[in-house]
Structure 1
Amino acid sequence: MRVLLLTHYYAPEVGAPQHRWSALARVLTGLGHELHVLAPPPHYPGGRVLPAHAHLRPGTTATGEHGETVHRVAFRPHTGAIGGRVADEVVVAADVVRRGRSAVLPRPDVVVATAPPLPMLGAGGRLARRLGVPFVAELRDAWPDLLDVADQWSGEEPSRLRRGLHGVSRRARGGVASVLTRQQRRADAVVVTTDTFAEVLRGRDVPTVHVVRNAAHGVSGYAEHVPRVPTAELRVLHAGTMGRSQGLGTAVRAAALAADRGVPVRLRLVGAGAERDRLARLAAELRAPVDVVGPVPHATMGEHYAWADTALVTLRAWPALEWTVPSKLYEVMGLGIHVTAAVGGEAAEIVAGREAGTVSAPEDVAGLADAWERLAADRELLRVPATGRAWAAEHAGTDALGRAYADLLEAVVAGAR
């Protein structure tokens, strides 16, 4: 089977979607399938290609880590602002369609488009129709429902609401939502990452919805978390995207509040994202016990996990995010690290049901500070049973998820034939 993947994010970039498809690529190629990838040069999150990846310019083709063939398409450099990012997404989607129809690429048996960004779904459906092959739409987030809170995407900077997507009217957003729902209904299969969002789409007459969760990616040299010898300081780690949907401003404020109460807490934020600079400014303004660290290679994450007493997983209090499970949750559960989960919905149920950590309501500053105060006072609460690791191994193991995806694609191809 020959699979053509359309994605805005791909290795050697570092991030959740890149890790997801790197793991899936390993399994697909290991099963003997041929995988071609159409993606722009690595330019996340800064909007410009780093010098180390300058050779991966548009128009080049290279063999990926797992034997997949990666074709680089055009993109539009940007500074990270929403308007520039959307323009980049549109340019990438347009060139994906152009390159996908060229004679350079062999005709695939199936086209898979992963979103966000949303223009990639339209590109995938259009390219699949032109090639006369089935189309699989993958939704890593709850779209189109996240459009309902588009006026909150800029976090705590209301002046930005007049720019980019934040200037569109509710009527326009409703039109975009209708288009997305039609695209989902027309796809030969829709892949989502949670059970709850799958049920939502089925209730909207999206006929073929399948769940392939994000994976619990292992960390090189760090197979299982060993709680460190307790000291006075409670160490909290957030490792991953510092984006608008994570709501990490709540964590910074909670750390400041806990410190004001005399709780010896230290929060470390590791990663990149649209909110990183704002979070650093907020921490400095509040004199919060927070360290903001830039992105690090995934292979070196073991040293940060070894430093931590608990791993923070957080989301905004947006209704659509109750159908979302952050990919980082699977990783930290798989390592056996205590989780501080400032989330709701399915993610909260997973943590509470497996006794994997402490659950706090999303965007509740006082509640999160209370949780850290309890953990600092009673370090035995940081010891979690093996149920969380067992659940992650069963439901988020990379090999099982990759085989499930391969079986799904084979069934779609067979159905089309």
Structure 2
Amino acid sequence: MKILVLSQHWHPENGVHQRRWTWLSELLIEAGHEVTVTCPPAHDQRKIGLLSWLRSMGSLRKTVEFGPAGERIIRCLYLPAGTSLVLRAFNQGVVAGGMLLARLQNVKYFRNFKPDLVIGTVPAIPTALVTPTVAALFRSPYIIDLRDAWPDLLVARDKWNEGTGLKAGYASQIGALPMRVVSILLTRMMHFSYRHARGMIVTSQDLADDLQAKASHRGRELIITTIRNVFPPKTTYQACISPEGQPGVLNVLYAGTLGRAQKLGNALDAVKLAAERGVKVNLRFVGAGVARDELLRKITEEGITAEIHGRLPAQQLLKHYDWADTALVHLTNWEPLKRAIPSKTYELMASSIHITGVLDGEAADLIRELDGGHVVAPEDPEALASLWVELARHRELLQVSQSGKEWVERQRDEGTPRALFDFLKKIGFE
């Protein structure tokens, strides 16, 4: 079977989405399928000048690249993205348009290429919107791979910049009513895309159940499967938490995105509250994101025992894992995030690292059920401080069972291949 994947991000970028799809591409190619990807050049973490951008545009139609799984990569049009939501949305829209134009940019490849199946992968809304059109041009069926609870997250749009220190920006200047109209239009367009898809893939069972319930309410059933982000880690690190430690001190590591959905100022507030109770929490952030400057401002002005390191390759994270007593997985309290499971959860379980989970829903349930750590509700710094005080004073609580590690490995090696190929059979592909 020939599969065309539409994605806003791909190798050599190294985010969750890229690693997920390198892994899934390997499974598909090993099963005898052919995978072709339409995506922009790597640019998400780069500042790109005008000349560099123009040169990259000039090379789009010259070559077909090959990715690490053996997939063919056709690069498409993009714009350098900034940190503002409007600029990022504009870039995503341009990339979606580039996906439509890819056949014209690389006529030689697409002249004899007709996919049996088109897959639109969605952290970015415009990919979901353009996928039906691309599939129609090829006269092929399509599926949607949905990572987050879109369009439900649009309901929280007024809170997106809270905790980042960023002004509301251009979106607020447009006005509340036009933005509401845009949100309604995007919601309807996404539901149209979902409704006409041959099937859907999601990353949490709660999200699958929610989508199925909404479809049933409209008198139809979805063919949907859950494929979690249990892709192979880049290291084989295994934690060894010592029951010995400095009394009244706890080292907490957050390695991930310093973004809107995390609202990590809550963790800084908890550090202060723990200090008032006689426990020193050393909080270390490793990562990048729009909230970095605001977190640094808060740390500096309020004298909080926390530090921020930049984004690091997996191998360079090991020394931070060795330093940490517990790793923080943190989301804010937006309702749709109850149906999200941060990918770091699985990586930490696989490495037997104790998790401090500040989240709700399925992710919280997994951490509890698999004895992967402890969980408190989002946006409750008092509860988080109380947990850290207890962990600092009773270090035996930092030991986790092997249940989480074993469960993740079963999901990766057995559950995912079975779910993926059973899903393809259900939508009519062997």
Shorter-chain TM-score above 0.5 = yes
Work out whether 1:348 is the aligned partner of 2:364. yes
SS of the counterpart of 1:24? Answer: helix
Residue 168 of structure 2, aligned match among 138, 161, 170: 161
Task: Give, in whole Å, the separation in 2 of the partners of 1:32 and 1:41.
Answer: 27
- Contact in 1 for aligned 2:349/2:404 (Cα 8 Å): yes
Task: Give, in whole Å, the separation in 1 of the partners of 2:387 and 2:396.
Answer: 14
Q: Identity across aligned pairs (percent)? A: 34
Change in 2 beyond 3 A, CA 1:400/1:207:
closer
Task: Output aligned runs, 1:326-405, within 5 Å.
Answer: 326-395=342-411, 397=412, 400-402=415-417, 404-405=419-420
Letter in 2 for 1:214: N
Residue 143 of structure 1, aligned match among 150, 160, 173: 150
Residue 315 of structure 1, aligned match among 331, 347, 351: 331
Task: Output aligned runs, 1:221-300, within 5 Å.
Answer: 221-222=236-237, 224-228=238-242, 230-232=244-246, 233-300=249-316
TM-score normalised to structure 2 length: 0.89
Task: Give, in whole Å, the separation in 2 of the partners of 1:161 and 1:283.
Answer: 22
Letter in 2 for 1:225: A
RMSD of aligned alpha carbons: 2.4
Say how many residue pairs are matched. Answer: 411
The alpha carbon displacement at 1:310 in A equals: 0.8
Task: Output aligned runs, 1:189-200, within 5 Å.
Answer: 189-200=199-210
- Residues 104-143 of structure 1 show CA distances to partners (whole Å, capped at 9, x for unaligned) of 2322111111112100011211101110111011110001
- Report the equivalent of 2:232: 217
Higher relative contact order (CA 8 A, sep 6+): 1
Task: Give, in whole Å, the separation in 1 of the partners of 2:4 and 2:255.
Answer: 31
Task: Give, in whole Å, the separation in 2 of the partners of 1:58 and 1:248.
Answer: 39
SS of the counterpart of 2:114? Answer: coil
Unmatched 5+ stretches in structure 2: 216-220
Letter in 2 for 1:277: D
Change in 2 beyond 3 A, CA 1:256/1:280:
same
- Contact in 1 for aligned 2:129/2:189 (Cα 8 Å): no
- Report the equivalent of 1:408: 423
- Contact in 2 for aligned 1:137/1:189 (Cα 8 Å): yes
Change in 2 beyond 3 A, CA 1:47/1:31:
farther
Change in 2 beyond 3 A, CA 1:402/1:301:
farther
The alpha carbon displacement at 1:381 in A equals: 0.3
Letter in 2 for 1:14: N
Task: Output aligned runs, 1:26-105, within 5 Å.
Answer: 26-46=26-46, 48=48, 58-59=60-61, 60-100=63-103, 103=107, 104-105=109-110
Q: Which runs of 4+ in 1 moved over 6 A?
A: none
- Contact in 2 for aligned 1:15/1:240 (Cα 8 Å): no
Task: Give, in whole Å, the separation in 2 of the partners of 1:327 and 1:357.
Answer: 15
SS of the counterpart of 1:204? Answer: helix
SS of the counterpart of 1:169? Answer: helix
Letter in 2 for 1:350: L
SS of the counterpart of 2:288? Answer: coil
Change in 2 beyond 3 A, CA 1:100/1:259:
farther
The alpha carbon displacement at 1:216 in A equals: 4.9
SS of the counterpart of 1:190? Answer: strand
Unmatched 5+ stretches in structure 1: none
The alpha carbon displacement at 1:307 in A equals: 2.0
Work out whether 1:203 is the aligned partner of 2:210. no
- Contact in 2 for aligned 1:216/1:334 (Cα 8 Å): no
